[in-house]
Structure 1
Amino acid sequence: MSRSRTFEWQDPRVSADAVGQQSGLDFLRSVLSGRLPGPPIAATLGFTLEQVEFGSAVFALEPGEEHYNPIGSVHGGVYATLLDSAAGCAVQSVLPAGMGYTSLDLNLKFLRPITVDTGKVRAVGSVLNQGRRTALAQAELFDSDDRLLAHATSSCMLFPVPAAQ
């Protein structure tokens, strides 16, 4: 039986142009409040930024069949996307205006399978260490009973963002 899903997103250049114009925390709060559009990948996969504070970010997803791999569980790439988003945005939340970041690596451990029966999952990212050029963050993926489903660490490169013209 065929299934379909429709989604919409806003122009990603709007948010991209705002990066570095304010602190990372203020930028993420603008995304959370809807003053800036979220990233298209969030609309594509159906996840949301639920919470952001200095040094931490939380994303949530209600898993559906559209997230499945051929063996009937959520694809590892979905886990990785949630964990990369949580770890990276935790790093972004500590950056001053004029600074940006990019992920250098993502090391991931899958601990439990996720299916539609799992219910809502949360990726909780936190900064472990911040230097002048790099930052180290971790992210943990939990189910609604706070069982750990996956764990990741990520190194991020920090760099100055050119001022808007």
Structure 2
Amino acid sequence: MATATRPDDLPSTEDVLALSGLEFMQRMKAGDLPGPPIGGLMNYRLAEVEPGRVVFRATPEFSHTNPLGTVHGGWYGTLLDSAMACAVMTLVPRGSVYTTLEYKVNIIRPVPLGAEVEAIGVSQHTGRSTGVAIGEIKGVGDGKLYATGSTTCIVMKMA
């Protein structure tokens, strides 16, 4: 999947509203739509999409560290926000959009630099006006739990 590198790479509002959230995410995974620029910056990519669930694969790099040399909390937050909110998105109907209202992250242990992880987002509820989801960051291969999160999103009918 290619990552958008300039505004013209992103789909138009009309194109977004013509697709359900699930169709949008499936087309992104298939490479028919570009991945978000933040994915390139934070080194993550969409790996799995199904109704109410998404998985991103990610590997933290030195550029994602804090002054102590460990992975910055914002990297965990960005990754979980993407996974949880996109899980909600997969259940948003055609003609609607969503955005994150709030999210919470619990960092359990540091992700080692260069270690591949999965961020798994699962929608617990997606209705006409709100979506609620949970997420986890786990090690690929060993399944070690690095962080958990929860989110509330607003769903807005646009068309």
Asked if Structure 1 and Structure 2 have the same fold, meaning a TM-score greater than 0.5 normalized by the shorter chain, the answer is yes
Say which of 145, 149, 153 aligns to 1:152: 149
Match of 1:78 in 2: 75
1:8-87 pair list within 5 angstroms = 9-13=4-8, 14-17=10-13, 18-87=15-84
1:142 maps to what in 2?
138
Partner AA of 2:26 in structure 1: R
- Checking the alignment, whether the CA contact within 8 Å between 2:42 and 2:64 is kept in structure 1 is yes
Q: Which runs of 5+ in 2 are unaligned?
A: none
CA contact (8 A) 1:10 1:37 kept: no
When Rg is computed on C-alpha atoms for both structures, the one with the higher figure is 1
Task: For 1:16 and 1:38, locate their aligned partners in 2 and report how far apart those are by CA, in whole Å.
Answer: 14
- Separation (CA, whole Å) in 2 of partners of 1:154 and 1:12: 27
Quote how far apart the aligned CAs of 1:20 are.
Answer: 2.0
CA distance in 2, matches of 1:122, 1:12: 27
Question: Taking structure 1 as the reference length, what is the TM-score of the superposition?
Answer: 0.88
* CA offsets 1:9-40 (integer angstroms, 9 cap, x no match): 33345335332211111101111111111111
- Indicate the residue corresponding to 2:125 in structure 1: 129
1:3 corresponds to which residue?
none
- What is the CA–CA distance in structure 2 between the aligned matches of 1:16 and 1:88, rounded to whole Å? 20
Q: How many residues were matched structurally?
A: 154
Question: What corresponds to 1:96 in structure 2?
Answer: 93
Shift of 1:57: 0.6
The CA RMSD measured in Å over matched residues stands at: 1.5
> Could you tell me how far 1:91 is from its partner in structure 2?
0.3
Task: Among all aligned residue pairs of Structure 1 and Structure 2, give the percentage whose two residues are the same amino acid.
Answer: 37
Q: TM-score, normalised by structure 2?
A: 0.91
Distance 1:73 1:83 in 2: 18
2:158 maps to 161
Question: Where does structure 1 differ by over 6 angstroms across 4 or more consecutive aligned residues?
Answer: none
**Aligned equivalents of 1:89, 1:16: Cα separation in 2:** 18
Please state how far the C-alpha of 1:131 moved relative to its aligned partner. Answer: 2.4
